[in-house]
Amino acid sequence: MSPWGLHGLGAVVLATNDDGIEAPGLRALVAGLARAGFRVYVSAPRRPSSSMGKALRYPARYGRIPFEGAVSAWWVDSTPAAAVVAALRYFLDEPPRVVVSGINRGPNMGVEDLLTSGTIGAAIEASLHGIPSIAVSLATDEGWDIGDYSEAARLAAALARAVVENPPPPGGPRLLVVNVPEGRPRGVRLTRLAWNDYRIPLREREQGILEPVPHSYRERYWDRGPGTDVEAVLNGYASVTPVCLAALQQPRGLEWARSLVGRVEEILGAPRR
């Protein structure tokens, strides 16, 4: 019996990531979802593909790969978002009820990461297809073989269950960006995205090649305002940040943009509509 009473639910979930099909975070996520009673499918990049955002790259080779349990899995030699498209348009016979991307090695917090992360980019791709999606990251500075993904996997499965039981309303947020601190979280907080343009300086590793100066994630995230995802994680809480992509189609402050368009028409001598 599932620890959350999900035995027999059988809801289809698609798991993906940007660290590659062999990443331990993905394996932990799949195991957690399977234990929770989901029918799990996997489609992920063949190789690590961080910082790809929502890029798509074709043509793309693909293949099957064994996973523990009754899990069908494919690798795609392309980006995280392309792996999601391949699953939704070609691999799966029925659409998933939810897509979970992760568990990423390292945090994905704030607006900058929203626009850069391949983990979040895969989840954005799913949400644009109308499917609720969750991007899950573990806030750590450790390397590939970091310790325990179990708490992040447990939270991801519980949140996936909650989404299946209570889908987002029409026009509501279909994307949840989740960050989990190392160890056992003190709790779960509903948060907003911090505003973190990267301020880490670059250095010349060798002539003609630039790289960021080595840093910890605590140095990278300077916006720690109340209610932000960064503030929650640095205080030991898991952050759940809803992102409503529909809001991008209805921005506030249109009066300013409308005045700009009017002024451009005046400058160009274009007839006013």
Structure confidence at residue 37 (pLDDT): 94
**pLDDT higher than threshold 60 for residue 247:** yes
> If you average pLDDT over every residue of the chain, what do you get?
88
Q: What is the CA radius of gyration of the chain?
A: 20
Position of tokens 């390292």? 106
- Domains belonging to the chain, first-starting first, are 12-268 (3.40.1210.10)
Please name the amino acid found at residue 217.
Y
As given in the structure block, the two tokens for residue 34 are 């399977």
Structure confidence at residue 69 (pLDDT): 83
Q: Is the peptide bond before 59 cis (omega within 30 degrees of 0)?
A: yes
Structure confidence at residue 143 (pLDDT): 56
**pLDDT higher than threshold 70 for residue 8:** no
Q: Are strands 238-243 and 188-190 parallel, antiparallel or unpaired?
A: parallel
Whether 96 contacts 131, CB under 8 Å = yes
pLDDT digits (tens, 9 = 90+) for 117-151: 999 999 999 999 999 999 999 998 765 556 689 99
More confident residue, 57 or 198: 57
| pLDDT confidence bin for 34, thresholds 50/70/90 | very high
pLDDT digits (tens, 9 = 90+) for 254-269: 787 788 778 787 888 8
